[in-house]
Every structure is written in structure tokens, then in C-alpha cells.
Structure 1
Amino acid sequence: MSLLVANDLKKTFGDKTLLDDVSFTIEPKQRIGLIGANGTGKSTLLQILTGAEGTEQGEIRHAKSFTVAYVDQEPQLSGGGSILSKVYEGGAPVLRTLRRYEQALRRYQQNPSDQAAEKQLYEAQADMDAEGAWEAETAAKTVLTKLGFADLEADVDELSGGQHKRVALAKALIQPADLLILDEPTNHLDAASITWLESFLHAYTGALLLVTHDRYFLNRVTDAIYELEHGKLHYYEGNYETYLIKKAERDAQAEREEEKRQNTLRREMAWLKRMPKARGTKQKARVERVEALKADTPEPEQGTIDFVSDSKRLGKKVIEATDVSKWFGDKVILDDVSMRVDRGDRIGITGANGTGKSTFLHLLAGRLQPDRGVVDIGETVRIGYFTQGEAEIDGSLRVLEYIREGAEVITTKEGVTITAEQMLERFLFPRAQQWTYVSRLSGGERRRLYLLRILMEEPNVLFLDEPTNNLDISTLRLLEDYLTQFPGAVISVSHDRYFLDRVAERLLIFESDGKIESYYGRFEDYLQSKEAEQTTQKSASRAPKQRQGKKLSYKDQQEWKTIEDTIADLEHKQAELEKDMAAAGSDSARIQELLKEQEQVAADLEEAMNRWTELATVMEEER
């Protein structure tokens, strides 16, 4: 039985049809990726499924007990409170129990001698036992830690927009639900958090529906793709790689059908020119057929960006940083960093959140001064800076007016002049949309428009700070294709592995101590090399000791007598740590300490078990 059934959904926005008689199903445990160009209505469809938006037509059917956990593209958390308390919000019984326990624990910690507070805590602990909520508490704290939060008591009102997104994501991940809906979940996550999220979603027991621009992530967590295009929803079974193959087959079929339509139209138009004015029924029907063929012209597909910049005037040395250091308060962001950017360089910057990547970009652009060291920018450098946040665009301007403020025309490599209108078409803004007010564009469409404005100003150095956030896959392909031909230097800050693999030849990996690791090659290769390195280190530390003979030495015999007690002690220690974790409440420092201790005990236990197996094997051979 389907988890959710949608029939004949219709949704319009002004004179634009977002959903045109759309029908689909979501099955239990299905993993669906929803893709489509910015402004086609992906986020609107998600909101319809949550009940936040209505439709002009159609119905959605599901069981009465059906529940949804949803993360908006740009969530805004209000009402204050700690990160942990915000994550515990929700109507599920286990979340109510967790809230009561956290409140009781906080009251008791403030006044341990208060007998009423102590009684309330005991009652809350009993409820936690009865509800089985200790596991949910541990899961919530683990999720928050994996998403990069150390202080779980921090006030949400003091958090950035990106941190709001991560709190909202954690809240949805721990919430019991039949369907988990995620709108751009990898925005504001670093590579480690994205990898962890992939693993979490693989083990998730409910159904999943997500919108994401991250193609590696999409490929690894989905088993079906819905593509929203021109108001219609097309279904493709399989992950993103399978979708690309099937989409190419569908496009080829569409091209063949369009060629047939054009041939038929040419024949019918020739008939119209030869024949007198239609009077008979058959003649009128044939005229109507011609009109229908003309009206059936397909929508324009993805465009291309093809124009030269001022890069030919760029000197060999673009930017040089020498012994640059930067700190905020007592936190070191950069520590004696030196690097040189040359013409044609393709540099990708990545690393954990909060390690100074955007700060470094500001320093290289001259927008921020270092506390120590020098940044020298070449005289011919003309920087195009695509910022991480949403650009401030005057909503009263029309799309074409905004682009014309940057440039009326540009020139291709062949010297052909292209107007702003033509460039907008190449960047997926059809003529009919070019006189739309900017205020009526979706967030992704505004990002696309802002990107085009920067490119049309003809920079010879591009700084891209998280360019993939909120851009659709079609726009990313356009940008990637353009960057491969761009003759100037490109520096991109991104956690999008697919994007970095396409556009970066050298990686700068920012570390938490203000240092930067340099790597030449693909980001995926770097991640695999780090994973292999960690696996080798673990294997070396846990490998059983090699024996020279097949008999137990006196030392081995003594170890055999005690090893089972050692294993029992470690297993007992594991159980105690579980209890300590449950009792840690919202003490994030203590939780971090316990997580490290748990990892060490687990490693020691695995080593002891391996050693027991080795000794037992030799004992068996001696018999």
C-alpha cells in the first residue's frame, strides 16, 4: 500500500503554472530525489505535501496517522531557547518526555538542595525509562555533534542562518515520521557532515523525499528521481546516474518526435500556401491541425554561456599572499599562510565550518586586512565576487533592467555581439520572464540572476563562495562548463564534491589550527586517500601481535588466563559509559569527552577480542 497518493494537482503562481495535473505516489522506505530548474515549483510541491501550501485542484491521500518531518530551504527558528530544547520541540510522545526531563534536570542543577526539584527529576527519569527515551536523547546529541555543534546550550537567537539550517535538520532527523522531506539539506554542511548524513539516511527507516543540488549526495541516497519540468512530473527509477542515462534516451526520443513534427508542419504549411481559403469541414480540420502543430513547439532546453572576459589583459601574477595571519579575539583563523594565484589557476577551498575559508577569500580580494603579513593584488586584476549569502537586489527592477545595469552587450570568442536579452535566454531566463520583477523570482532564480550579472561584468578573476547553494543542477552545469573555458583564475569555496571535481585542479583544505593542507587532484580522490590513511592507522594499532612459533610462551599463557576478564571489564565499561552519556544532560563538554572515551573503549575491546581469537587458535593447534 502506498504511503502517499497525489492525484491531479494543479498550482499556479500569477500567470505561471507550477503544477499541471500532477499525479504521483510515495512508497514506504522509498528514497526520492526531486530535481528541476529553479522556479519550477520544487519547494512549493514540498510545502503542498506538508500542508503549508494549498492547490487549486487535486487531492492528496494518506493514512490518518501519517506524519511528516520537514526541513525548509531557509528555516528561521524563533522563540529563543537552547539548541537542544529547539531540537526537542514536536508533538511525538518521546520528544515531550525529553523536554520534561531536560527541564527537570536544569531545575535540579540550578538548586540541588531543592527537594521538589529532586522529586521532579526522579519522576522525569522514570518517564524516560518507561518511554525508552534514553536512546533518543543520545541520538539527538550525537546528531547535533555530527552536524558541528559543540555547545548545545547556545541560544538559537544568536546563531547564523546556516546554523539555523543545521539545527532544523537535526530536529527533523530525530523526529519519528513516516516521511522525511529535506529541501537542500547539504547547504551549510561541511564534507564530513555530508558524508555522515549519507550514512544516516541509508539507515533511516521512513520514506525520504529531498531536493538537492549535490549530485554525489543525490546519487548515493536515492533510488528514484522525480523531475519537475514545465509543470509536469517525470518519474525515473534508479539513482541520479541512472536518471542521466534514461533522461538522455527520453531527450533523444523527444528530438525524433520534434523532427517529425517539423517535417509535418512544413508539409502542411506548403499545402496552406497552395490551397484557397478553407471552406469545407475537412479543410478547416486540416487548418486547425496546422495551428495545433505550431502551438506544440517545445519549451527551450538548457542554454550555454559563451563569451570572453577581460582575462586577456590579466598579468601572470594575479594575487600573492605572504606570511598572512588573521585572528578574531583569541581564535586563530590563519597562521602564517603563503600562496600565489597565477593566471589560469583553478583552486578549490574546502574544510570544516568555521575554519576561515570565507575570511581567506575576503583577504585575497582585499575586502579584509590581515593582522600580519601582506596580500599583493596585481594591477590588472578585475575580481568578480559571488558571495555566499543572498545578494541584495532591488526587487522593483525587472530582470532585464538588473542585467543591463551590468552590461548592455557582451562579446563572444568569435567577436559576435550578444545582447543582455540573449544572454538571459542562455542562462535559462526566457524572453517572457525577462520583464518580470525581480521580487517575483524564487530564491534560486535570484541567485542565478546574480551570478549572470557578475559574469557579464567581465571579470578576469572569479571568487565563488559556496556557489552551489540554492542553484539548480541545470545552472550548475552551465557554470561548470563556463569555468572550464574561463581563461582567468578561479577560486571556489565549496563543500560540493561534484562541483569541485569538475572545476578545481588544486585543493586547499582548511584545518582548525589555522593551517592549510594543499592537494593536487580531485576532491573525491582526496577524501578516499584520507579514508585509506585512517583505515591503515586503525589496522596498524589494532592488528594482533605476530607470533614466531605455534606454541604459547609463558607470557602468552599468563595473558590467556586474564584476557577474558579484560574483555568482561571492557564490556562493563561500555555499559557504564552508556549510563554516563544518559546522565550528562545537556553538558556538551562532558558529552564530547564521553564520546571520545566510548571510541577508545570500543577500539580496546576490538583489539582484546582479536587477541583472544589469536590465542584461542594457537591453544587449539597445541591440542
Structure 2
Amino acid sequence: MNYVSAENLTKSYGVKVLFQNINFNVNEGDKIAIVAKNGSGKSTLLKILMGKEIADSGNVVINKDIQVVLFDQEIEFDSNLSIEEFMMTLNSPPILALKQYHHSLISNNPDEMEKAIAEMEIQKAWDLENEMKQILSQLKIADLTLKMGTLSGGQIKRVALAKLLTETRAEHRHTLLIMDEPTNHLDVEMVEWLENYLSKAKITLLLVTHDRYFLDSVCDIIWEMEDKNLYVHNGSYATYLENKMIREDNLNATIDKANNLYRKELEWMRRQPKARTTKSKSRIDAFYETEKVAKTDTRKEGLELDFEMKRLGNKILELKDINKKFGNNVLLKDFSYSFQRGEKIGIVGKNGAGKSTLLNIIQGFEPKDSGEIETGETIKFGYFSQKGLAYKDDERVIDFIKEISENFPLANGKTISASQFLRLFLFDDQTQYSPISKLSGGEKRRLHLMYVLYQNPNFLIFDEPTNDLDLPTLTVLENFLQNFQGSLIIVSHDRYFMDRIVDHVLAFEGDGKIKDFVGNFSEYRESKKSQESKDKNQEFAVSIAKEEKPTAINQQSSTKKKLSFKEQRELETIEKEMPELETQRSKILEQLNNESDYVKISKLSADLESLSEKLEEYEMRWLELQELLN
């Protein structure tokens, strides 16, 4: 079933053309990721599909039988509503049926209740409330009575995400789900859960994300928006990169041929008399087409990282017995660490565990409760925070960077200009002379990153640098950091980014405990999961041992006289099968916690109910047989 078709779609803002004459289709079951540089028109394209923007030309046809649902960066809500009330503002028929049923319970009106129950049956809404609470639980939203106005930005985004997933689940109509950076403000466990949920769910999805592991797990089609065009790649992120490289190589070969032809034709043009025949005019027209191709700028300037960094002394940064808590919440407990030259450390942990607090304490932005910090005399911090950039509305990009310096020093004694440095980070000449206020949100984040790096620090501290940065910029940043000779601390939930950069992990595990792990991020996650699995198996074995009933041979031999042969065999069978049923029950419960497919959830729930009934029968019969022994 075709959901969306677009033909010759064009959109511009002033003189800037975002995309021109692009064509695409979205079919049922497609899971598509959009990859593009910030400012290329990703968000604008999504708004056109939502009906919030109008294209300059071209046609978009959306199937009348589908619903388009958007998870956006900007979330609208009534601050006076509780989380539960906000969730129930959905207008889908199953949610309305659920609200009607709740109202009938309060009113205690038999006629109203009968009508509400009938509507619940029609809309198949009995399991919806449990699913809603399960999604909220997975996103770490526990207290549904909290007012929306009291929540942090990250909590608001998680509640909105839960509402969107509930709406998608509740709708019986075909739905196109559009998600713009859904993993921002989610910790790793939440990202992994959402990744698992979306990859298994039978949905049609259009996704914008900077998380490449997330992209690869969820999507199998990539739309690349570049140079006003849209290119479709079927396959993984690696396939997209390979296809892009082949396309650029072919384009460069075409340009080389055009350059050779251009030089020959240019000589011919210079020899032509002013009076031109029809034949020469066609050749002249062809010349201008060749000139256009020959002068195509495909330069992707490589980032030269061998710059002149201020020398690091013997002492870098040393923390001794640092303590910090807010009220009863212990964030740091006797934490000590000595940072080394060239060390690249990743800091991970759940939201609110104290990661950003540690960064602020290191730089003196926040006081510690106790402990000592010794900072080397040559250290120059460069801090990329989540707060954003401070600038004058009418200030141009190039002027903002030049306020630091006209040039950037390289290790070979040469320099590059502010404009060249900006170009390395994908700011073209037109954008460099634009007011900062006209930049997109992602472009402002990129400029903020530029501002930090251009000051030439030797100790970088990055707090969630990947949020709102596009994939091309992330690739440039990763190349920069891999070759960075100074010290580096990164707080990030982006697993791919962390794997490429860090070789050491400090993991905030709660209650002030910080685990020191040598290795990259994925190795740390595997180690943690392995340990959690061992702990879980040990707990399970202990619980089974406690629940097992005594079956000693001497007990059996002493009871054979009090039970008939048939009853004795029945008791032995029950005592053998009860632990096995408990094991099956635990496995089903674990599957339910990790399952997102509604059909599978229904089957597992039915199996669990059947198993629980059988266990209850066994327990009752076991008690009866035990009474006969007394």
C-alpha cells in the first residue's frame, strides 16, 4: 500500500534552495532514515508532509486512509495537566473508549457502564491502559500524578514520546510515524529499549537521527539529501556511505572530462568572430553547459588536525576524594582520578546520576562538598555544554568566529583563516556571511562547536555534543577528536560516537559509585550486561531453591504408609513439576518485559494466565496431600 508520493518537489527560503524537483515514495512497512547536513531541509520536508509547510512547486499525495503522526523537537502541553491527564488527551477511538469506561466507574451508572464496556470491546481497548503504563515505565516515568509544568525538558520529551507510541499503538488506521531525533535526552537503556521496540513493531516510519547504531537497527532505507537532491539507498549506513563515495567518484571523473573539453572549447570561443552562425551558436550553448560542469565545486576539504596546541605540562588534572550530594542524593563519593596526557575518557550513566555535575566541579563552575582538585598550570579547557550559544541577533557567522582570532595556528608554523576553518566544518561561503539568527538549530550547535575548537584548547570537555548535530558534522568531529593530542572527556549517550573516540569509561552506577573501565563503550556495555545476567541467574536460583518443597528420600519413605500409592506418585509428580513451571513462568515474564509486538504480547499473556492457573492447582493439591501426612 502506498502511503505518500512526491513528484518534482521544490522548496526555497529567499535565495537559498533547500531541495529542487525531488521525487520519492513511502510504502507500508518502510522504515526510512533521512541523512543530511543541517540546513539542507530535513525538518522542512517533514513539515511539508505534516501539512505545516507548503512546497514552492511539485505535488505531494498522501493516502486518505492513513494518519500522519509527528514526534517533533518542540512539544506543546498544558503545564497544569498531570502526566496521566496529558496522556489521556489523545483523541483516538480506543483512548476515548477508555476514558468513557473510567467515567462510568466513577458515576456507577449501570446503563453508562454497559455502553462503555461495549465500546471497549469494539475498540479492543482492554489492554491499552496497561500498554500505556508499560511504555511510561520503560521510559522511566513512574509518578503519573506529577504536573507537566514541573517536569524537566528531558522528562517532557519522554512523556511526549510515550504518548506518541501509545497513539500509534491505539490507532487501528494505517499510520505514518515521523520522528525527529527521538533519542535526544534518553539514556542508553531507554535508547536500546526504543530501538528494540521500533525495530520489532509493524509500523511505517520516517526517521531523522544522528545515532548510527539506532539508525542501522531500525531502518533499512536511507534518504540522503545533498546539493538540493534526494538520493535513495536500500540497506545499511555502510551501504549508504559506499554508494555516496561511488557517486562522488563518478562525478569527479565527469568533471575531469569536462575540464579537458572546457580548455579546448575555450580556445575555440576566443577565436570566434562576432557574427555567429546557427551551427556555431549551438556549439556556444554546449560550451556554457560544459563550463557549468567543469566549474562544479566538489571539494570536501579534509580536516588537517596537526594544529599548534598549547603544550601540556607534566600535571594535567588530579581529583582526590571528591564528594558531592544534593540533599540525600549522593552523586560523588570519595572519587579520585588522575587524568593523563592524550587520554580520551567517556562518562556514562543514567540521567541525574551526576555526570554534568562532575564536569562543572572540574571547571570550578560548581562547588564540591569536600576533596581536592589540582589543575596543571598549562591547562586550557574547552567546554561544549548543552546550554547553547550566546550571540547578537544581527551578528554574522564569520564575524562571530573572527572575534576570537583572524587565523588559526597549525603545527607547521602556517595558519588557516577563520573562513577556511569554518569551511572545514561544512559552513559554505554563503552561510558564513549570514546572520547567526537565521541558522537552523543544528547549524547553531555546529557553530557552538566551532567556537569551542577555534579557541585552541588542550583539554576538551564535551557534554552531549552529538545532540542536534547532523551526521556529516559528526563525522568531521570524530576525525578531529581521534587525532586530538590533548586530554578529552565526553559525556554522551551516542554509542557509535563513543566507540569511535573513547578508550576508557567512567560509569556512574548510582549512590556516588563510579566504575573505572578500560575499553570502549560497547565493551563496557557487554561487560555490564554479562554481570547483570549472572546476578539475575543467581537471584533466580536462590528464589527457586526457597520455593522448592522438601523431597528427601527419608521423608518419602516415612510417608508412604500414610498415602496411597496413587497419592504418593501424585505428590512426587507435583514436587518435580512445580519448579519447572515456575521457571517457565519467569521466562514468560521476562519475554513480556522485552516484547513490543501486540500479537506476541497477547499470546504470552494467555500462556502466562494458563501457567499461573496450573501452578495454583498444583499448590492447592500439594497442600491437601501435605495435610494427609500430618
Matching residue of 1:488: 486
Matching residue of 2:564: none
1:215 aligned to 2:207? no
Question: Take 1:23 and 1:361, find their aligned partners in 2: how far apart are those partners?
Answer: 46
Q: How far 1:309 sits from its partner (Å)?
A: 5.6
Matching residue of 2:156: 164
| 3-state SS, counterpart of residue 210 of structure 1 | strand
User: After superposition, where does 1:172-251 map in structure 2 within 5 Å?
Assistant: 172-175=164-167, 176=171, 178-251=175-248
Q: How far 1:68 sits from its partner (Å)?
A: 1.7
Q: Conserved in 2, the CA contact under 8 Å of 1:312 and 1:487?
A: no
Question: Take 1:335 and 1:134, find their aligned partners in 2: how far apart are those partners?
Answer: 47
Question: Take 1:103 and 1:500, find their aligned partners in 2: how far apart are those partners?
Answer: 49
Q: How far 1:164 sits from its partner (Å)?
A: 2.1
Matching residue of 1:498: 496
The 1:306/1:74 distance shift into structure 2, 3 A limit, reads farther
1:561 aligned to 2:574? yes
Matching residue of 1:320: 318
One-letter code aligned to 2:46 = L
Question: Take 1:416 and 1:40, find their aligned partners in 2: how far apart are those partners?
Answer: 33
| 3-state SS, counterpart of residue 483 of structure 1 | helix
One-letter code aligned to 1:65 = D
Question: Take 1:569 and 1:480, find their aligned partners in 2: how far apart are those partners?
Answer: 49
The 1:260/1:130 distance shift into structure 2, 3 A limit, reads same
One-letter code aligned to 2:437 = S
Q: How far 1:571 sits from its partner (Å)?
A: 9.4
Counterpart pick for 1:282 among 279, 282, 304: 279
**Could you give the per-residue CA deviations for residues 383-422 of structure 1, whole angstroms, max 9, x where no partner exists?**
1110113323322101111111122111222222211111
Q: Conserved in 2, the CA contact under 8 Å of 1:321 and 1:338?
A: yes
Question: Take 1:119 and 1:533, find their aligned partners in 2: how far apart are those partners?
Answer: 55
| 3-state SS, counterpart of residue 66 of structure 2 | coil
| 3-state SS, counterpart of residue 303 of structure 2 | coil
Q: Conserved in 2, the CA contact under 8 Å of 1:309 and 1:459?
A: no
| 3-state SS, counterpart of residue 64 of structure 2 | coil
Q: Conserved in 1, the CA contact under 8 Å of 2:308 and 2:411?
A: no
| 3-state SS, counterpart of residue 511 of structure 1 | strand
Q: How far 1:56 sits from its partner (Å)?
A: 1.6
One-letter code aligned to 1:218 = L
User: After superposition, where does 1:386-465 map in structure 2 within 5 Å?
Assistant: 386-465=384-463
Q: Conserved in 2, the CA contact under 8 Å of 1:308 and 1:458?
A: no
Matching residue of 1:9: 9
Q: Conserved in 1, the CA contact under 8 Å of 2:385 and 2:463?
A: yes
1:347 aligned to 2:339? no
| 3-state SS, counterpart of residue 135 of structure 2 | helix
Matching residue of 1:378: 376
Q: Conserved in 1, the CA contact under 8 Å of 2:305 and 2:483?
A: no
Q: How far 1:538 sits from its partner (Å)?
A: 4.6
| 3-state SS, counterpart of residue 359 of structure 1 | helix
| 3-state SS, counterpart of residue 471 of structure 1 | coil
Q: How far 1:430 sits from its partner (Å)?
A: 1.2
The 1:172/1:523 distance shift into structure 2, 3 A limit, reads same
Q: How far 1:326 sits from its partner (Å)?
A: 1.3
| 3-state SS, counterpart of residue 266 of structure 2 | helix
Q: How far 1:562 sits from its partner (Å)?
A: 4.3
Counterpart pick for 2:130 among 138, 152, 176: 138
1:38 aligned to 2:38? yes
**Could you give the per-residue CA deviations for residues 3-52 of structure 1, whole angstroms, max 9, x where no partner exists?**
21112211111211112111100011111000100000101111111112
User: After superposition, where does 1:68-83 map in structure 2 within 5 Å?
Assistant: 68-83=68-83
Question: Take 1:455 and 1:122, find their aligned partners in 2: how far apart are those partners?
Answer: 66
User: After superposition, where does 1:285-300 map in structure 2 within 5 Å?
Assistant: 285-296=282-293, 297-300=295-298
Matching residue of 1:533: 531
Question: Take 1:119 and 1:525, find their aligned partners in 2: how far apart are those partners?
Answer: 60
Matching residue of 1:21: 21
**Could you give the per-residue CA deviations for residues 553-597 of structure 1, whole angstroms, max 9, x where no partner exists?**
787964423455677899999999xxxxxxxxxxxxxxxxxxxxx
Q: Conserved in 1, the CA contact under 8 Å of 2:305 and 2:484?
A: no
Question: Take 2:534 and 2:492, find their aligned partners in 1: how far apart are those partners?
Answer: 28
Question: Take 1:93 and 1:356, find their aligned partners in 2: how far apart are those partners?
Answer: 42
One-letter code aligned to 1:165 = K
The 1:315/1:542 distance shift into structure 2, 3 A limit, reads same
Look at both structures and tell me which one has the larger radius of gyration over its CA atoms: 2
Q: Conserved in 2, the CA contact under 8 Å of 1:77 and 1:164?
A: no
Q: Conserved in 2, the CA contact under 8 Å of 1:308 and 1:411?
A: no
| 3-state SS, counterpart of residue 414 of structure 1 | coil
Aligned residues: 572
Q: How far 1:533 sits from its partner (Å)?
A: 3.3
Matching residue of 2:469: 471
The 1:559/1:185 distance shift into structure 2, 3 A limit, reads farther
1:152 aligned to 2:130? no
Moved more, 182-191 or 279-288: 279-288
Q: Conserved in 2, the CA contact under 8 Å of 1:198 and 1:217?
A: yes
Q: How far 1:523 sits from its partner (Å)?
A: 1.0
Matching residue of 2:565: none
Matching residue of 1:595: none
Q: Conserved in 2, the CA contact under 8 Å of 1:348 and 1:491?
A: yes
Q: Conserved in 1, the CA contact under 8 Å of 2:199 and 2:219?
A: no
The 1:575/1:31 distance shift into structure 2, 3 A limit, reads closer
Q: Conserved in 1, the CA contact under 8 Å of 2:308 and 2:410?
A: no
Q: Conserved in 2, the CA contact under 8 Å of 1:306 and 1:413?
A: no
Q: Conserved in 2, the CA contact under 8 Å of 1:309 and 1:460?
A: no
Counterpart pick for 1:256 among 253, 269, 278: 253
| 3-state SS, counterpart of residue 507 of structure 1 | strand
Moved more, 215-224 or 313-322: 313-322
| 3-state SS, counterpart of residue 279 of structure 2 | helix
Q: Conserved in 1, the CA contact under 8 Å of 2:37 and 2:470?
A: yes
1:98 aligned to 2:111? no
One-letter code aligned to 1:560 = T
1:61 aligned to 2:61? yes
Q: How far 1:104 sits from its partner (Å)?
A: 6.9
One-letter code aligned to 2:573 = W
Q: Conserved in 1, the CA contact under 8 Å of 2:324 and 2:331?
A: yes
Q: How far 1:242 sits from its partner (Å)?
A: 1.8
Q: Conserved in 2, the CA contact under 8 Å of 1:311 and 1:461?
A: no
| 3-state SS, counterpart of residue 317 of structure 1 | coil
Q: How far 1:435 sits from its partner (Å)?
A: 1.1
Question: Take 1:101 and 1:406, find their aligned partners in 2: how far apart are those partners?
Answer: 63
The 1:379/1:565 distance shift into structure 2, 3 A limit, reads closer
Q: How far 1:173 sits from its partner (Å)?
A: 1.1
Q: Conserved in 2, the CA contact under 8 Å of 1:144 and 1:170?
A: yes
Question: Take 1:122 and 1:7, find their aligned partners in 2: how far apart are those partners?
Answer: 50
Moved more, 28-37 or 303-312: 303-312
Q: How far 1:178 sits from its partner (Å)?
A: 1.4
One-letter code aligned to 2:502 = A
The 1:378/1:541 distance shift into structure 2, 3 A limit, reads same
Task: State the Cα RMSD in Å.
Answer: 3.3
Matching residue of 2:596: none
The 1:12/1:63 distance shift into structure 2, 3 A limit, reads same
Q: Conserved in 2, the CA contact under 8 Å of 1:76 and 1:164?
A: no
Question: Take 1:323 and 1:488, find their aligned partners in 2: how far apart are those partners?
Answer: 24
